[in-house]
Structure 1
Amino acid sequence: MAASRSSSASSAAWSNRSTAASAERSCSIASQLSVMAPFLRAPPTSESSRNTRSAGETLPLLTACGGRVRPAGRRAGHPADSGPLGTALMPPPPPGRTLTPFTRATSDASATTRRHRHHRHHPTPARPRTATADAHARRPAAKDGAPMRPLRLMTFNVQLLPVIAGVSEGTVSVPAGIAGLLPGLAVDSIARAEAVADDLLAIAPTERPDVLALNEVFSEDARSVLMNRLKPEWPNVIESVHGGDLEEDAGLMVFSQLPFLPLPGGGDRRERFYSDDAGADSWASKAAVLVQVGLPAERTTLVFTHLQASYDTEEQYRDVRKNQLAEIRELVAEVLGASPGSWQNVIVAGDLNIRGDLDATSNEWFDVFDNPSDKFGELFADSWIEMRPPGVSEDLDPGLTNRNRETQAEQRLDYICRLKTMDGTDLVAHHMRVGHRDPSDHYALEALIQVRDDHCQPCSAVDIDAAGPIAGTSGAGQPQTSLAYLVQPDIAAEGGRSWAWVRRPGTYTFHHSPSLVVEVFAADDISRPLTRLDSLSKSAVPPAVQVVYDEFGRQIDDEGSTFVNREPMLVSMRTKSGAPGSGVLLVLEHLGDSKATAIALPPHQDVLVPFPPNQRLGDDDTAWFRLRTVKTLMGTPRQESVTVEQPAGSGKIEAQDAAGSGLGSDSGPNTLTHDFTASAEDEIFIVVQRDSDADTGQVIRWSTPVSYLRLDKGFTVHVANESGLDWPGEDEPEFEMWMDGEKLLTTSWDDADTGEDWPGMADKVFFEAVQRGWTSKSIAFTGALDFTIEDPDDLGAAHGVTSWTIAGLSPNEPPERKRTVAVTVFDTISNGLYTVNCTLSRDP
């Protein structure tokens, strides 16, 4: 559960901003004190009723990627690169020499580092030591020497509160709350638990977490549902963590496909009930629980917790959270020994209630994770910041895991932290992702945990720019052509990942060894791989790079996958078998010098035409672009256009279909335009020519009214205030939705209370889209989304029903934006208020 808060406190350490913050803070049983207090004892205040603390040994400050801190972010033996990330979608290619005939270039990402940018950013993860032989030698293995597969780990705050909390919050009516006190009758909690179970069981068996830790399972009816539904798949269970007396339990549940190993001193778990808590959290047994499992190391220590919540400001109770984190360290010491220098293979996960996103107004994250004197932070790293590309000092993907149901504001509160060790033999997250956005006010956080390996994380990815192109030309006096780069992943850990970093947005084709599985991610969304635009045969690449494809032709597939993105890209590589192995990845950067290497145009994005000054582009100084029109769900025709702005000189554009037939042209100075009508999926090529090779700086743009409804990022209808009198019962609303003027969905709900979200709304919309032949959770439309919400009046009194609209993205809006519309639900006694919330994007 999360409580609404507002803060006017400023934090110079984070951002020098002075803003009023209104954000939801995850908590255990926030609003129920006034109802529960008569039945519960006072919260404990004496240290005798809790575990005591002992001092722990300290270690030198270690960086988040495992290396010691070095001045200005420098890596040992390598100069710092202070250049910032470029922002243009297609800047000119890096200056270089003639690289044909083929010359091999190193792919060691450790040759590229950036000077650390200190202002307003988290510390840059340092790149780990990169010795392949060492990586093989330190691979965790079972006693028989066989390599061990990675651990899939998930932490998920599922917001399954006791019914009494719902009464005090208004999400459960008083009659329903009274009924819910009887076993099996907490209808809301049972329904949400069923939705959580449905979501988790829908994960493909090969992708399911080995260990699943749930927070905020306070409802006993919900706990029973989860036990019945999940235990068959995750048979090793910690059903509850309870401190005794009349306190609520800790709300922690752990499900595991792996057996819990016996711990020193007996038993298979250790519980630590915190000696410090405050506010409403004092009525729960706030705690951490420790277990050990046999993956990815022979003995891996896992600690799960849910820390003290804030209610009024981000700063509130930060001292309590700091003390609780110190007690986690003490808990680990009870099992692994007093000296942290001897610890290995420890992971801590849960809702820490510390804001880790850049919109935070508190410096609490820095006080914990960037503080050499913090008892927890000096030993444990925030794994999410290791999902940044190399040398980047801020989260391109913010990793937001919590949503305020009323305001839709998001923040990062959930963590998977790993132990920092001195010798580099640590476990790290090879990949993390955020998902399961609908059942709760939190999203699930998942990590693939394995031993550290060369380039196994985004923060240690091979930088293809630093490695340099191995074929193609960009030197003076020669035609500029597309460029080819070589990456040779050597994956030492079973089920591990190897990453490459493509820092320039644009169009790229990836050919790779048949033994590899390659996924391409936008650097600002590492949870969802990009969908490929097209394929390209290795025989169709331009002559300037053909020598490389001939050289590696027997080691790569015939067809490569082409991707376009308006942001930099991260490329994940793994072996199909999961076994350690190596391979080849060839990266072709499209610079528009031929039809095969045409640059794909993202909608409403200014793209630089890559004409070099006083030098030809390709053989005939022609720039090729391509765009793919789409069929919207309703098939609505619309007008689209391509424009080329010429700051100097004159030129010509010609539009062609995929077969090369002309579709129209324009020539002259200033602005060149091609207008057309689109209603279906089609491929259009745009050929740009200039009248003088001294003319540069041309910009091309594709304009289209198409937007995408991103169901993968949630679609919610929230009851801000139910209609009529709240206390006797609930609304029974009816919801209708139109897309581009055609009705898409009609549905109803018989149990709507203030503060609740309409259950499964995203799934309902997607189901109706599937009935029309749609397969993606990104639904294309042209104009607008319209809604009505009505609560039928049993009294028969007349009242109107108004349609409310969410408009598609306008030309000057960002490529992705959240939309929220308030919908009045008319009632003869008192109108209600609902909000419809969704995410729109220009890209599928």
Structure 2
Amino acid sequence: MSGSLRMVTYNVQCRSWAMEAGADMSIPPSETCEERAKLISDNLLNSARDYDVVCLNEVFDEDARDIFATELAARWPYAVTKADFAVMNVAWPGKPSLPINPAAFFLDHTGLGLLASWFALGTPKMEDSGLMLFSRHPFTLKPLTQQILSALNPFAIGELTPLGFPSVGFMPYVSSTGADAWAAKGMLYAEIQRPDGDVFHVFASHTQADSDKVSENKTERAGQFAESAAFIDEVTAGSGTANVFAMGDFNVCGGQQAVTLDQFTEEWGALFLTAGSLWSDRLIDVWGREQCVGAAAALPPGALAGLRDPGPTANVVYPPAEQRLDYLFRNAGSAMVAQHVYVDHALATVKPGVDGVSYLSDHRPLGCDLHRRMQDNAPNLAKLADADPDFTDVNKLVPGQVRWYRFDRLGTYEFRVLSNNDVRFEVYLDTDLSLPRQPYRNEVNPDRGTKFVLPSAPFLVKVFCGSRRSEAGYRFFAHRHTGASPWEAIDVVPEVNYHEQFPAGQFLNLDQSLAPGDDTDSKWFVIDTPRVPVNDEIQLTLTVTPQDHADDGAMVSVFADSGAPVLTLETTAGPDSAPMTLQWKAKDNQRFYVTVQRKNTAGNPLSFDLRLNWTVTMLLGGLLGKPHLVCTEETSGWGSDDIALTLSTDGVVLRAISNDEIGDFDDDDVRDLSQWLPAFTVYVNGVEVKVIEEDDISANDVGTRTIGVLPIGALAVGDLAPGVRVERVNPDTSARVIATIDVDDGTYEFRCTLARWHEQA
């Protein structure tokens, strides 16, 4: 795995006792830093991602710091466990925690020393930087020069002799404002060397935060980025194309290079797209400028659209509700490429059965798998796979390498990988490169592989070894359903447009003998109603619109599959060359086949659009739905809000979440509800969200809001109902929805995902 490096940055929201007391306005404050630090450590140690470098942001609680330092030491023994203006604590195998004066690094590196004193930095620093850095590989060592020795205490000198001085440093920022000015925010540096001799310059920072709106503190952030650019330039001067990485919670609402900047992303453009700056010329935002640049409004002929995933890493109380605030940059001249950048949801998940902790952080971790650049080993470098209807690639993987395949046509597919080694694959929509799609109802064709229904394109398939220390040869197969038979039927997803055509001058197929009557020259589709219980009839509406040389038009038939040898005719329309609409009712867990039959017997060209809608709305739980409760304004009075939450669908309680489970709330608090809600809940009338402030339960201390069903037809961002708005519409037909609930004089938001369909439902 000599070409591989894996890193993660995570804002763990472990604020100090004093910070929590200020937020809670109560003594003692409510806080779970120690419990969450232990759970996060366990998740890191058990992660399948096998990280080499771990960067933690916002570790201000000293007990949490001790837990991280102790729990992670065995896996990542080289660490900076504290970075402050006057001291850095450095861990090294077999050594006690070494307090090192950051000035020692500056004295040796620049000969100038720390020019700014404590008071020159402005506000007295009551907190350190909150940064921690852990590495599997050692920090490089430099000789103990007289300049370095002059800045070290006798204990550090004794422990570092004759080992040498670890190449770590910390530069506090001069620019800061508001509450952040009380912390020694700055940039942490470590030079790391792998066993193969490759050296990496790693920088970590947590920059100035906003409080009430995007970019309100952009001036201070711009100052910090200017300071850090000078620091990076100074430290890496003369290193040529050496690998330089910068990561952390940068508190800038992330944009995408091919997407027009707006009021939310203009700061991102000014910092990271404007020529003449280290942060745009020398360093590259691997998400917004490399992996997922976004789809431009207009593309040159033949150009491929950029991948669209915006990569949000944090829920925020001001618009936009979800923002990409966490970053990883690499230097433009690096021989390494980001094979996969992703939000590591598993790392941020509270495992079932944990009492007293309802969330791990208000941010989600950003992970990155880096490798030396090779063919097809990044999503933006993916091999274009034209499954027409089959695609095969015979290839190999060296240790640590992955390969990506890009498909630009939505539909029903089977995929299979054959190898003598443990070679696996994952499928991603380009709108979410963090959560892989699931096989369609776990269906497997023994000849062609595992079935996937992909409702949007482009989508990608990632092929990789189970262990990054392995190498393997493999054969990758992909097959796209053509609709030429019932066994080749194209699965229909509601509100997705399917454009299909018949071959010119020949029949698509002969009679399949599965449907009553002669179905020669028919395209086959299949519709599955949800397997999860639906407490009412489902109204289905199918529209087929013939196009091009419609001539004698088409006949559309819907057949019910009851398991009998021959399908049962449900409804039919046509033949017609005008749009045809068919309606019928169904229950849950039913299957229907649809045939679109060309009526011109000479085989003249015919294309058509097919679209289905139905009266199904489901609330998604777990990682699929990412439900959250957010306190946008705490109720007045002393102390935190003692919140309980009850969710009901169609008048039946889905889950009552007690205050002991979800915990107390203060302004800006975010709680993840994934662990309490089932993956799929279909409802007919509405989801009632009841937020209860238990300090004094009167009529004013209970707020409710009902989220209705999704309307038939295409969704749009905007108000869905009073107090309910669609924040984002996803290409897979799901929607991110926010319901606002007033509780006394406070305000809460229930953020959830609604869908009409899911491949596992």
Normalised by the size of structure 2, how large is the TM-score?
Answer: 0.74
CA drift at 1:749: 1.5
The amino acid across from 2:10 in the alignment is F
Instruction: Give the Cα–Cα distance (whole angstroms) in 1 for the partners of residues 224 and 670 of structure 2.
Output: 35
Distance 1:568 1:200, change over 3 A: farther
Distance 1:671 1:660, change over 3 A: farther
Look up the match of 1:593: 484
How large is the Cα RMSD of the aligned pairs? 3.3
Look up the match of 2:9: 155
Q: Is the 8 A contact 1:705 1:783 kept in 2?
A: no
2:319 is equivalent to residue 398 of structure 1: no
Q: Is the 8 A contact 2:139 2:168 kept in 1?
A: no
Look up the match of 2:455: 565
Q: Is the 8 A contact 1:500 1:571 kept in 2?
A: yes
SS across alignment from 2:165: coil
2:499 is equivalent to residue 580 of structure 1: no
Residue of structure 2 aligned with 1:762, choices 670, 674, 685: 674
2:573 is equivalent to residue 667 of structure 1: yes
Instruction: Give the Cα–Cα distance (whole angstroms) in 2 for the partners of residues 760 and 239 of structure 1.
Output: 28
Instruction: Give the Cα–Cα distance (whole angstroms) in 2 for the partners of residues 404 and 461 of structure 1.
Output: 33
Matches within 5 A, 1:798-809: 803-809=704-710
CA drift at 1:209: 2.6
CA drift at 1:347: 1.6
Instruction: Give the Cα–Cα distance (whole angstroms) in 2 for the partners of residues 530 and 564 of structure 1.
Output: 8
SS across alignment from 2:608: coil
The amino acid across from 2:24 in the alignment is V
Instruction: Give the Cα–Cα distance (whole angstroms) in 2 for the partners of residues 838 and 604 of structure 1.
Output: 20
Matches within 5 A, 1:357-368: 357=255, 360-361=262-263, 363-368=266-271
2:116 is equivalent to residue 273 of structure 1: no
SS across alignment from 1:630: coil
Look up the match of 2:242: 344
The amino acid across from 1:242 in the alignment is D
CA drift at 1:666: 1.2
CA drift at 1:577: 4.8
Residue of structure 1 aligned with 2:596, choices 681, 688, 693: 688
Matches within 5 A, 1:477-496: 483-492=389-398, 494-496=399-401
Q: Is the 8 A contact 1:272 1:331 kept in 2?
A: no
Look up the match of 1:644: 543
Distance 1:165 1:407, change over 3 A: farther
Matches within 5 A, 1:401-420: 401-405=313-317, 409-420=321-332
SS across alignment from 1:202: helix
Distance 1:287 1:642, change over 3 A: same
Look up the match of 1:220: 62
Instruction: Give the Cα–Cα distance (whole angstroms) in 2 for the partners of residues 368 and 756 of structure 1.
Output: 26
CA drift at 1:445: 0.6
Q: What do residues 282-339 of structure 1 show as CA deviations (whole Å, max 9, x unaligned)?
A: 4322222222334496333321112234567755665654554455455455655x22
2:414 is equivalent to residue 509 of structure 1: yes
CA drift at 1:739: 2.5
Instruction: Give the Cα–Cα distance (whole angstroms) in 1 for the partners of residues 466 and 371 of structure 2.
Output: 17
Give the % identical residues. 24
SS across alignment from 2:572: strand
CA drift at 1:252: 0.5
Q: What do residues 382-408 of structure 1 show as CA deviations (whole Å, max 9, x unaligned)?
A: 111322389556550011223213656
Distance 1:352 1:718, change over 3 A: closer
Matches within 5 A, 1:659-738: 661-663=566-568, 664-668=570-574, 669=576, 670-673=579-582, 675-680=584-589, 682-692=590-600, 693-694=603-604, 695-712=606-623, 713-723=625-635, 725-727=636-638, 729-738=639-648
Distance 1:264 1:408, change over 3 A: farther
Instruction: Give the Cα–Cα distance (whole angstroms) in 2 for the partners of residues 798 and 535 of structure 1.
Output: 50
Matches within 5 A, 1:70-469: 147-148=1-2, 150-166=4-20, 168=22, 171-173=23-25, 175-176=26-27, 179=28, 186-188=29-31, 191-192=32-33, 194-195=35-36, 197-199=38-40, 201-202=42-43, 204-227=46-69, 229-231=71-73, 234-244=76-86, 246-247=124-125, 248-263=127-142, 266-274=164-172, 276-280=174-178, 281-295=180-194, 298=197, 299-310=199-210, 318=218, 321-322=221-222, 324-325=224-225, 327-332=227-232, 336=236, 338-341=237-240, 343-357=241-255, 360-361=262-263, 363-384=266-287, 385-388=289-292, 392=304, 394-405=306-317, 409-421=321-333, 426-436=335-345, 438-465=359-386
SS across alignment from 1:416: strand
The amino acid across from 1:589 in the alignment is R
CA drift at 1:378: 2.0
Q: Is the 8 A contact 2:629 2:672 kept in 1?
A: no
Q: What do residues 788-840 of structure 1 show as CA deviations (whole Å, max 9, x unaligned)?
A: 2233465x8677956421223222224222222222335xxxx5433222122
Distance 1:290 1:780, change over 3 A: farther
SS across alignment from 2:501: coil
Instruction: Give the Cα–Cα distance (whole angstroms) in 2 for the partners of residues 732 and 325 of structure 1.
Output: 39
Instruction: Give the Cα–Cα distance (whole angstroms) in 1 for the partners of residues 384 and 437 of structure 2.
Output: 19
SS across alignment from 2:247: strand
Q: What do residues 687-718 of structure 1 show as CA deviations (whole Å, max 9, x unaligned)?
A: 22132244532424252413241432522223
Q: Is the 8 A contact 1:715 1:836 kept in 2?
A: yes
* Structure 1: unaligned runs, 5 residues or longer: 1-146, 180-185, 470-481, 540-557, 770-776
CA drift at 1:457: 0.4
Q: Is the 8 A contact 1:193 1:226 kept in 2?
A: no
Bigger RCO (CA 8 Å, 6+ sep): 1
Instruction: Give the Cα–Cα distance (whole angstroms) in 1 for the partners of residues 613 and 502 of structure 2.
Output: 18
Instruction: Give the Cα–Cα distance (whole angstroms) in 2 for the partners of residues 793 and 319 of structure 1.
Output: 41
CA drift at 1:779: 4.7
CA drift at 1:675: 1.8
Q: Is the 8 A contact 2:644 2:657 kept in 1?
A: yes
Normalised by the size of structure 1, how large is the TM-score?
Answer: 0.68
Deviation beyond 6 Å, 4+ runs, structure 1? 796-800
Look up the match of 1:473: none
SS across alignment from 1:697: strand
CA drift at 1:530: 0.7
Instruction: Give the Cα–Cα distance (whole angstroms) in 1 for the partners of residues 33 and 680 of structure 2.
Output: 25
CA drift at 1:624: 1.0
Q: What do residues 361-389 of structure 1 show as CA deviations (whole Å, max 9, x unaligned)?
A: 25443444444421343221111132238
CA drift at 1:572: 0.6
The amino acid across from 2:129 in the alignment is A
The amino acid across from 1:487 in the alignment is D
Q: Is the 8 A contact 1:637 1:677 kept in 2?
A: no
Look up the match of 1:103: none
Instruction: Give the Cα–Cα distance (whole angstroms) in 2 for the partners of residues 461 and 259 of structure 1.
Output: 33
Instruction: Give the Cα–Cα distance (whole angstroms) in 1 for the partners of residues 15 and 493 of structure 2.
Output: 44
Look up the match of 1:518: 425
CA drift at 1:448: 0.8
Distance 1:562 1:743, change over 3 A: same
Q: Is the 8 A contact 1:604 1:704 kept in 2?
A: no
Residue of structure 1 aligned with 2:734, choices 798, 811, 816: 816
Distance 1:808 1:654, change over 3 A: closer
Look up the match of 1:625: 525
